[in-house]
């Protein structure tokens, strides 16, 4: 495939040796198919980023490592690449390591591989488990700053966290659910993708605390470990609906909202209030169709820009600054969606 990039630059983007890249580009064989895909993906990333940045100034190679549903990792990638021009005169090059689910050991292997080959920083969304915390420590020891995004690892050696105040987000959801249900009876389904993500745990704690204080009569029915994926979420929701005929509302902490709505429909049940998180492509469509009541959103472009700034400060490329403030929580309804004209 034709491209204007030197082999050295492709190798750096892909995290492979120049000899391996040369074999792939010249069809010499002896390379696994997955490795060849990494080379072509690196060229595509370079080509896409080249249209948005000037190749001048100091260059930072940053690795974005995320365990999340594809719809959210895609939104983060788009946000970062939209923000690249704002980071001038520095140039940020990004390598992506996305997965939807899997054992922590695989994620740790990715982080350790980054540490061995080198990086100017890692932006990380990962479960808060000891193995990942230890891997962040090894990256820090190797001089690779780690910034946690959306969900924190507070016991780790990360240099900063960028995202919203998740307890406040959960309490906001409780306020909205309580207001919209009003005097109508009904219990609330809370749905987490996994109990190992600190942001989801904090949202759930904020929600539960506010509901207990304001609406102690409403039972909360929790489901978890659907990984935010529609394929696994549906059965969990159907089982919960079968167990509790009083569920009337949903606070979706971890996603899988298309499957949740389908489970209500197939059970012949009404969902009076549905509050979710993040304006990814699924939730944007569901909100526009009035199938969600509200989405709690924070500006991903602001978050990834701030994450890059924290990483640059760790290298002394920007002057020191105070603690990073939590991202503002936006309550988005079908009537105030960003970029949607009122009609």
| Domain with 230 in it | 166-297
pLDDT at 52: 47
170 shares its domain with 266: yes
122 shares its domain with 211: no
Does 330 fall in a domain?
no
Mean pLDDT by 10 residues, the chain (343 residues): 75 86 84 88 78 58 93 92 83 90 94 95 96 98 97 96 96 98 96 91 97 96 89 94 97 95 97 95 95 96 94 87 90 87 37
175 shares its domain with 269: yes
180 shares its domain with 151: no
Chain-centre distance for alpha carbon 121: 17
**What is the enclosing helix (H) or strand (E) of 148?**
strand 146-149
Structure tokens that stand for 17 in this block: 């040796």
170 shares its domain with 286: yes
pLDDT at 24: 87
CATH value at residue 33? 1.10.260.40
158 shares its domain with 230: no
Does 28 fall in a domain?
yes
Report whether 95 contacts 38 (CB < 8 A): no
237 shares its domain with 288: yes
CATH value at residue 258? 3.40.50.2300
Strand order of the β-sheet with 160-162 is: 91-99, 59-67, 121-125, 146-149, 160-162
How far apart CA 53 and CA 58 sit, in angstroms, is 12
How far apart CA 234 and CA 226 sit, in angstroms, is 9
How far apart CA 233 and CA 223 sit, in angstroms, is 9
Does 338 fall in a domain?
no
Tell me the whole-structure pTM to 2 decimals. 0.80
Does 332 fall in a domain?
no
Contacts of 59 (CB under 8 A, 6+ apart): 90, 91, 92, 93
- Range 252-264 burial, b when 16+ CB lie within 10 A, else e: bbbbbbbbbbebb
Please spell the DSSP secondary structure of 193-250, one letter per residue: S-TT-HHHHHHHHHHHHHHHHH-TTS-EEEE---TT-HHHHHHHHHHHHHH-TTEEEE
pLDDT at 57: 58
63 shares its domain with 156: yes
134 shares its domain with 83: yes
Report whether 190 contacts 204 (CB < 8 A): yes
Structure tokens that stand for 51 in this block: 């249209």
How far apart CA 184 and CA 220 sit, in angstroms, is 15
Structure tokens that stand for 256 in this block: 């899988």
Helix axes 281-288, 257-266, angle to 10 degrees: 40
98 shares its domain with 189: no
> How many domains does one find in the chain?
3
Structure tokens that stand for 134 in this block: 């230890």
């Amino acid at each position: 495939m034709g491209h204007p990039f030197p082999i050295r630059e492709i190798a750096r983007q892909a995290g492979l040796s120049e000899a391996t890249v040369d074999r792939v580009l010249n069809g010499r064989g002896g390379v696994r198919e997955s490795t060849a895909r990494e080379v072509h993906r690196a060229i595509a990333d370079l080509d896409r980023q080249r249209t948005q940045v000037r190749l001048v100034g100091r260059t930072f190679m940053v690795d974005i490592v995320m365990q999340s549903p594809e719809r959210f990792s895609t939104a983060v990638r788009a946000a970062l690449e939209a923000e690249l021009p704002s980071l001038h005169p520095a140039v940020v090059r990004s390598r992506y390591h996305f997965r939807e689910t899997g054992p922590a050991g695989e994620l740790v292997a990715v982080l350790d591989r980054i540490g061995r080959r080198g990086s100017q920083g890692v932006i990380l969304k990962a479960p808060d488990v000891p193995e990942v915390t230890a891997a962040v420590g090894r990256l820090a020891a190797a001089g690779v700053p780690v910034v946690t995004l959306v969900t924190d690892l507070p016991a780790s050696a990360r240099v900063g966290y960028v995202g919203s105040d998740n307890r406040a987000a959960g309490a906001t959801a409780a306020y909205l659910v309580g207001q919209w249900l009003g005097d109508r009876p009904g219990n609330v389904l809370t749905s987490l993708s996994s109990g190992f993500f600190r942001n989801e745990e904090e949202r759930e704690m904020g929600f539960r605390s506010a509901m207990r204080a304001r609406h102690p009569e409403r039972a909360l029915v929790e489901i978890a470990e659907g990984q935010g994926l529609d394929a696994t979420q549906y059965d969990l929701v159907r089982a919960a609906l079968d167990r509790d005929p009083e569920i009337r509302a949903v606070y979706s902490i971890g996603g899988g909202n298309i499957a949740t709505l389908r489970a209500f429909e197939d059970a012949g049940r009404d969902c009076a209030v549905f509050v979710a998180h993040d304006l990814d492509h699924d939730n944007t469509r569901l909100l526009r169709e009035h199938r969600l009541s509200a989405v709690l959103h924070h500006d991903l472009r602001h978050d990834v820009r701030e994450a890059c700034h924290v990483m640059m400060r760790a290298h002394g490329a920007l002057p020191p600054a105070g603690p990073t403030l939590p991202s503002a929580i936006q309550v988005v309804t079908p009537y105030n969606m960003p970029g949607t004209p009122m009609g």
